Chain A
Amino acid sequence: MKRLTKLVLAALVISLMMVGTVFAYQQAPMLDNMDLPPIEERLPENPMVLPVFEAIGQYGGTLRMSMKDPFSTGAVHSGFFSEPLVKWDPTGTGFEANLAEKWEVSEDGLVYRFYLRKGVKWSDGVPLTTEDIEFWYYDNLLNTDLTPAFPVWLSSGGEPVELHIIDDYTFEFRLKEPNAVFIDNLAFQAGGAAFHSIMTVPKHYLKNFHPDYVDPDELLAKAQADGFDTWYDYYYEKRDFRINPDIPVLTAWKPESGLVGREIQYWTRNPYYWKVDEAGNQLPYIDRVAVRIVGEREILNMMIANGEIDLDFANMTLPDYPFLKEHEESGGYRVLLWKSAFGSQLQLFPNLFHQDPVMRELFNNRDFRIALSLAINREEINEFCFLGLATPRAAVISNVSPYLRPGLDQLYAEYDPAKANAMLDELGLDKRNAAGIRLRPDGKPLQFVIEYPMTSEFGPYDDIIDFVAGYWRDLGIDVAVKPLGISIHFDRSYTTEMDFTVWADGRGLHPFIQPSYVFPAEPGRSNGALEYARWWNTGGKEGIKPEGDILRMMELYQEFVKEPDPDVRLEIGRDLIELSARTILGIGTVGLAPIPVVAKDNLRNVPEDATRDWVLVMIGHLRPEQYFFAQ
């Protein structure tokens, strides 16, 4: 009898819950007195139900954050305003449905069909349909004034992918050749340009500023009256929701004002947001977000210690960690350590096209590169520069990635100066001058200059380079170091003038989106292999065709993106990563340095353990719309 009662009760509870999720939606109290259609009409037919990380939240509050300057929206805004068709899941490795309720890929991998969530509305109440997709594709992307260079990620076989509209809510992309990272790129938001992506162009609003829809002369006159030279400069401004508060959005919050000339930008909740929690509460929980521009790190630190910041996931690096920990109590916050996806915080690429033939030969010798790598004491760098919290490793992708075969992260990464010295001796560098500097085969002393960019984005570069230079001096090499302004270093990496290119090893989680960290794929970006990258990048028109392992890597990449079978593809990807690690084009130091994240004690649903990365659109996959203040 007792069991029966329990059963009945359980059934009752379950059916009640079902009723709850299907029929009764709740909205934030701040919307109660607004002149809005009822919540059921604002939500789509099938709202996206977002599971919470910790608990069902409470409505209300203002979330205070900060940004370095009005141009760091990539770090701060992107995650909050990222609503792609398909989104990264919270682990950052898989995908989940977002604005596309579901999607299908044809067996040959050439047709991607997307089904939009029916009844999703822009923040002004106008429904989202494939008309907006059409407008985005034809009137934005294919308009050469607006988009002079069609995005590479959306090209297939050198041409734009074709768009086919099936009905109001269904459309297809048709590709010329298979592309294994197509969905990845969609989740990554149009190659990183989250602000001008597929889901930020409401046709009903933007057509008023487009010469195909309104009188071009009148449009130009309006543009000029606003101080713009061309209609498209005017259009850029109107399209950019960070600057123009009038444009409707699909995101959880909507900016109340622009950014230019402001010290603080407020975002307010979007009453038409199309996500709910499991209890039927419309998201977001938090009413308002205040983003303050704080240019000076010291001030931001004090504001955090003073409890004036509720969430910071973008501005802190490991050197701030002790200070943040020290003031945890007075500031009323907790410091979380999130993972980064940098295979190496700093790696050095020997220039394979060095203008000095002797150096060129040395740098092209894999054993020489291995010897340089073995001479680096990564434990010491980790202790001194990263509080011992990073991981000594080679410059390869993150251990979390399925593409990394075990052990590769420590390949040539052990500290073995004796072996390094022996290897150099064997390379014919065994003669030394009076000062103990090794002599090159042509009798000149072996020396190089490490030019590196002055940035602290990925770690204390000055200190790391000092250590590396010291280890290499111990090998009997005459090493000088030279810090460069970041843009000067960048310009010089388009030349073959430097001994080394220095940069972090990014894309640790998704190496095959823009694969320039795996093999030379983008001139000036990395790999010290400028001419090979140019060859790849121009499809063989310019640059120099590589041979051997580097050519093999390029071939493997092509096989990888065209392989429809996921299991086969996985193996090809692993082969490629392994070959890249063994070729050791970049000499790694330490990687996977955690990122300190500040969250107010009562700010809940912020994941304790997470990965933050550019490819994941910062915290886009960490569901900021369900953060809430426990009251």
Chain B
Amino acid sequence: MLNYILRQTLMMIPTLIVISIIAFAIIQLPPGDFLSTYVSQLTASGADVDDATIQALNRRYGLDQPIYVQYIKWVTGMLRGDFGQSFEWNRPVNTLIWSRLGLTVLVSSVTMIVTWLIAFPIGVYSATHQYSIGDYLATFFAFVGVAIPNFMLALVLMWIAFSVFGQSVGGLFSPEFIDAPWSWARVWDMLKRLWIPVLVIGTAGTAGLIRTLRANLLDELGKPYVVTARAKGVSERRLLFKYPLRVALIPFVSTVGWMLPQLISGETITAVVLNLPTTGPLLLRALQSQDMYLAGSFIMMLSALTVLGTLISDIILALVDPTIRYE
């Protein structure tokens, strides 16, 4: 087992190196670079930038150096924990990401917990009560939940919050609490707003989860071992939780690691629409403006988390699924 974990861990290193190259290349793919974006934005707002200034900025950002030099500079910096400088923010990338990470993880983990709390009972219910009215209702809402685009739901909920409850919308806090230190009042203020993003991001996840759990469980419920157990007089509840549910969970476990990157970037579109101070909009902005090091470091971080998550999944899977071999 230990060997298995070690081997999987070592495998991460070449994977990450390849990812770093791809990440860097992807950012370079769109035509132009940060500077052309920057200058065109200035021009869009009415300013004019002369060519001498553009060349000077090019030198300052090191954009006149060959691609591989830029890459090596970035990668070696990363080994020291220095992710480089964001052009647009004129700030070290680290500080930018850290300042938003707390709230991001908070929103995502609350959403995830709520999703599970809702989806698991419903999923189990609709599998065990297949074709009942409850199952049809759950299925109906699940499909609706999958079908509605998040941004749309966000806009509708915001409109309701605004027009029915007269709540000020957008962001995670009311203006007076944005800069305030943590207090119960601030927590309460946040909870009053948190339900919208949680509901919006949660619906799609909940719906998907219900459907997967239902299908997995239905596969198991008809198997002979269940029939045998039932014939031997095991109570329905005990039977369900002891055998089929555990087996039905295996596909979940194998993807549970992907929750890690989800924690950071899962809510991008919703966060943009809802004006949340999370990392998603920061990433989007960095990609749009080709803020190379910020975007690259983000992609790198997400990839590292995915790889790490996969490792965790593998380990958990090895623990719960006796059919896994360590060879």
- B88 CB, nearest partner CB in chain A, Å: 6
Question: Do the beta carbons of B56 and A615 come within 8 Å of each other?
Answer: no
Residues of B contacting A71 with CB < 8 Å? 41, 88
Most buried by A among B40, B88, B96: B40
Q: Report if A255 contacts B (CB, 8 A).
A: no
Residues of A contacting B170 with CB < 8 Å? 294, 296, 299, 302-303
Question: Do the beta carbons of A303 and B285 come within 8 Å of each other?
Answer: no
Residues 268-307 of B at the A interface (beta carbon under 8 Å): 272-275, 277, 281, 285, 290
Instruction: Identify which of B90, B169, B178 contacts A264 (C-beta below 8 A).
Output: B178
Instruction: Identify which of B43, B175, B285 contacts A69 (C-beta below 8 A).
Output: B285
What are the interface flags for A162-203 relative to B under an 8 Å C-beta threshold, 1 for contact and 0 otherwise? Answer: 000000000000000000000000000001110000000000
Q: Report if B159 contacts A (CB, 8 A).
A: yes
A294 to B274, CA, bound (A): 9
Residues of A contacting B46 with CB < 8 Å? 192, 506, 613-615
Knowing A233-B85, A306-B168 are in contact, say whether A294-B50 is a contact too (CB < 8 A). Answer: no
Chain B: interface size category: 35 or more
Q: Report if A608 contacts B (CB, 8 A).
A: no
A264 to B277, CA, bound (A): 11
Residues of B contacting A483 with CB < 8 Å? none
Question: Do the beta carbons of B281 and A295 come within 8 Å of each other?
Answer: yes
Q: Report if B94 contacts A (CB, 8 A).
A: yes
Residues of A contacting B158 with CB < 8 Å? 298-299, 302
- Give the contact stretch, choosing among A210-218, A408-416, A484-492, A569-577: A484-492
**Which residue from chain A places its CB closest to the CB of B57 in the assembled complex?**
A148
Instruction: Identify which of B39, B43, B82, B169 contacts A306 (C-beta below 8 A).
Output: B169
Knowing A263-B178, A292-B175, A306-B162 are in contact, say whether A490-B39 is a contact too (CB < 8 A). Answer: yes
Question: Do the beta carbons of A491 and B36 come within 8 Å of each other?
Answer: yes
Residues of B contacting A264 with CB < 8 Å? 175, 178-179
Knowing A233-B90, A260-B89 are in contact, say whether A537-B51 is a contact too (CB < 8 A). Answer: yes
- B221 CB, nearest partner CB in chain A, Å: 45
- B186 CB, nearest partner CB in chain A, Å: 13
Residues of A contacting B55 with CB < 8 Å? 148-149
Residues of B contacting A193 with CB < 8 Å? 47
Residues of A contacting B169 with CB < 8 Å? 299, 302-303, 306
What are the interface flags for B140-162 relative to A under an 8 Å C-beta threshold, 1 for contact and 0 otherwise? Answer: 00000000000000010011001
Q: Report if B42 contacts A (CB, 8 A).
A: yes
What are the interface flags for A26-40 relative to B under an 8 Å C-beta threshold, 1 for contact and 0 otherwise? Answer: 000000000000000
Question: Do the beta carbons of A486 and B45 come within 8 Å of each other?
Answer: no
- B194 CB, nearest partner CB in chain A, Å: 15
Q: Report if B95 contacts A (CB, 8 A).
A: yes
Q: Report if A227 contacts B (CB, 8 A).
A: yes
Q: Report if A624 contacts B (CB, 8 A).
A: no
Q: Report if A64 contacts B (CB, 8 A).
A: yes
Q: Report if A514 contacts B (CB, 8 A).
A: yes
Chain A: interface size category: 35 or more
Knowing A306-B166, A487-B36 are in contact, say whether A299-B274 is a contact too (CB < 8 A). Answer: yes
Q: Report if B31 contacts A (CB, 8 A).
A: yes
Question: Do the beta carbons of A74 and B42 come within 8 Å of each other?
Answer: yes
A615 to B173, CA, bound (A): 36
What are the interface flags for B164-190 relative to A under an 8 Å C-beta threshold, 1 for contact and 0 otherwise? Answer: 001011110101001100000000000
A274 to B277, CA, bound (A): 37
Knowing A263-B277, A296-B272 are in contact, say whether A191-B48 is a contact too (CB < 8 A). Answer: yes
Instruction: Identify which of A302, A457, A514, A615 contacts B162 (C-beta below 8 A).
Output: A302
Question: Do the beta carbons of B155 and A149 come within 8 Å of each other?
Answer: no
Q: Report if B99 contacts A (CB, 8 A).
A: yes
Question: Do the beta carbons of A488 and B31 come within 8 Å of each other?
Answer: yes
Residues of B contacting A298 with CB < 8 Å? 155, 158, 273
Instruction: Identify which of A236, A292, A293, A488 contacts B32 (C-beta below 8 A).
Output: A488
Residues of A contacting B52 with CB < 8 Å? 148-149, 152
**Which residue from chain A places its CB closest to the CB of B284 in the assembled complex?**
A295
- B153 CB, nearest partner CB in chain A, Å: 13
5 A-B residue contacts at CB 8 Å? A64-B175, A292-B178, A293-B275, A299-B273, A537-B51
Q: Which 5 A-B pairs have the closest CB atoms?
A: A614-B46, A148-B56, A149-B52, A261-B99, A490-B40
Give me 10 other A-B pairs in contact (C-beta within 8 A), A296-B170, A306-B166 excluded.
A192-B46, A227-B82, A260-B89, A260-B91, A263-B178, A296-B273, A296-B274, A490-B39, A522-B48, A615-B46
List residues of B whose CB falls within 8 A of some A CB: 30-32, 36-37, 39-48, 50-53, 55-56, 59-60, 82, 85, 88-92, 94-96, 99-100, 155, 158-159, 162, 166, 168-171, 173, 175, 178-179, 272-275, 277, 281, 285, 290
